[in-house]
Amino acid sequence: MLTAYTADQIRAAEQALMARLPDGTLMERAAAGLAACCAAMLGRVYGARVVLLVGSGDNGGDALYAGVRLARRGAQVEAVLAGSKVHEAGLAALRQAGGRVRGIEAVDRADLVVDGLVGIGVTGALREPYAKAVARANQGPGLVVAVDVPSGVDASTGRVPGAAIQAHVTVTMGACKTGLLIDPGAGYTGRLELVDIGLGAYLPDPDVAALTDGDVADLLPEPGAESDKYRRGVVGVAAGSEEYTGAAVLAVGGALHAGAGMVRYVGTAAPVAQVRSHWPEAVITELREPSLDGVGRVQAWVLGPGLGTGDFAHELARRVLASDVPVLVDADALTLVSRDPTLLRRSAPVLITPHAGELARLMRVPRERVEASRLEHARRAAADLGVTVLLKGSTTLVAEQDRPVRVNRTGTPALATGGTGDVLAGVAGALLAQGLSCYDAGSCGAYLHGLAGRLAADGAPLVTADVAAAIPAAIRSLS
């Protein structure tokens, strides 16, 4: 599990650790790790042009001391002092090692730019002259390594209120910061490298966490010798409509490929015909009325993809949500729920799977606000609605009250095509039916969906149905 922390959590841990160590030890450790990463990026240090962007805080100090180490190995190190003050001891050490102070134009000929403008101490949008320095460094020819956090990214939230460094690599000190995993900040982070400075024992429970292959393998249920279809989970899918038949096919396909013991599909004539021809293994109930009478036992429902938003859909949603099993609420069902919030008054668990626009509608705020502060909105929706929230996006979040928000790191832009959300709903619904909690089903579902997207795309455009088909390969790839 990759865990991440807010700036306040990191500061508290650093203070506790620092109290037991001689002055300057942590910065030495940080600088040593940073210099090693810079050297690896450069390949050959001797003769390389390294430009340090140095702000007025300790983030600049890290950059200066890393510069000292690179200068001692023969790099030509130049420091651009952007702040009103500078870490004096660090600057003196750099000068002694042969480093020079230069203007911002130095970035135009750098092999490597080390962004030490600001780290966890940032507040608000970058001020001048930082913002201009960032713009120039982003356009320069060199590789860019961010110290601790790309300057301009809020370490605690991932918000990017103004200019920000677009890093190829971010070398983060002690522990990962929340803002490096959450969009938009995650999009500025590049490859993430963690330098161990000994903080581990002092860290509290994480603010956010990202699953890894091993975590997902441990969480997924393994069918035992005594498994039957009920033990492996029966998932009900209420999706599709006369207008939208494909969503039903994709959601059922997602569920079937994610290990459900059985899929029961309920819908009207047109989607029923499509589901029947695509998935002979689905057990189908054709609905003339919005009723679940005679549908049989299910252990979790997937509700909403392509369902429509008329009276029929509303009544069907009401009946599904009146059941006493977990329900995944997606797509059109989210529209129904935002119109009629009483639908969510139930005691069994609910996993909602909105994208930013759908969450904005549910929370009655502008979409841009959700996009700018995804973490905050996912958390608030989970608390206010009393549900588990899976907020879709390039980094999908799963929020549940009093738990670290799970961040999915397997996503790929290839998945930004129509219908992939329907597959995700089916996959996560199948995991719910197999007994995973909403929190685990949402985060494992997003993880497998991302992996399957990568496998299905394999560097080329993908067809959504292939994502469902690639789920078993994604599961196999975990071990």
Q: How many Cβ atoms sit within 10 Å of the Cβ of residue 231? A: 15
Rounded to whole angstroms, how far apart are CA atoms 249 and 1?
34
| CB-nearer residue toward ligand NAX: 147 or 360 | 147
3-state helix, strand, coil in the chain (%, to 5): 45, 15, 40
CA distances from 27 to 24, 61, 64, 182 (A): 5, 7, 10, 26
Residue 142 is assigned to a ligand binding site: no
Site of tokens 């002694």? 96
State in angstroms the smallest separation of the CB of 12 from ligand NAX. 11
| CB-nearer residue toward ligand NAX: 41 or 298 | 41
Residue 62 is assigned to a ligand binding site: yes
- Identify what 26 binds: ligand NAX, K ion, none; CB under 5 to 8 Å per kind: ligand NAX
User: Of how many residues is the chain composed?
Assistant: 479
Give, as ranges, the residues between 18 and 37 that touch ligand NAX (CB under 6 A). Answer: 18, 26-27, 30
Q: Any contact of residue 62 with ligand NAX (CB under 6 A)?
A: yes
Query: Helix, strand, or coil here: 1?
Result: coil
Span from 50-58, 283-291, 365-373, 394-402 in contact with ligand NAX (CB under 6 A): 50-58
Q: How many helices (H) and strands (E) does the chain have?
A: 19, 19
| Given 90, 119, 267, 326, the residue binding ligand NAX (CB under 6 A) | 119
Q: Any contact of residue 395 with ligand NAX (CB under 6 A)?
A: no
- Identify what 115 binds: K ion, ligand NAX, none; CB under 5 to 8 Å per kind: K ion
Q: Any contact of residue 130 with ligand NAX (CB under 6 A)?
A: yes
Give, as ranges, the residues between 179 and 218 that touch ligand NAX (CB under 6 A). Answer: 197
CA distances from 375 to 167, 206, 399, 447 (A): 22, 14, 8, 18
Rounded to whole angstroms, how far apart are CA atoms 96 and 402?
51
Q: Any contact of residue 277 with ligand NAX (CB under 6 A)?
A: no
Q: Minimal CA–CA distance to 445: which of 408, 401, 402, 405?
A: 408
| Given 78, 111, 115, 148, the residue binding ligand NAX (CB under 6 A) | 148
Binding mask 67-96 for ligand NAX (x = CB under 6 A): ----------------x-------------
| CB-nearer residue toward ligand NAX: 82 or 389 | 82
Q: Binding site for AMP: which residues?
A: 392-396, 421
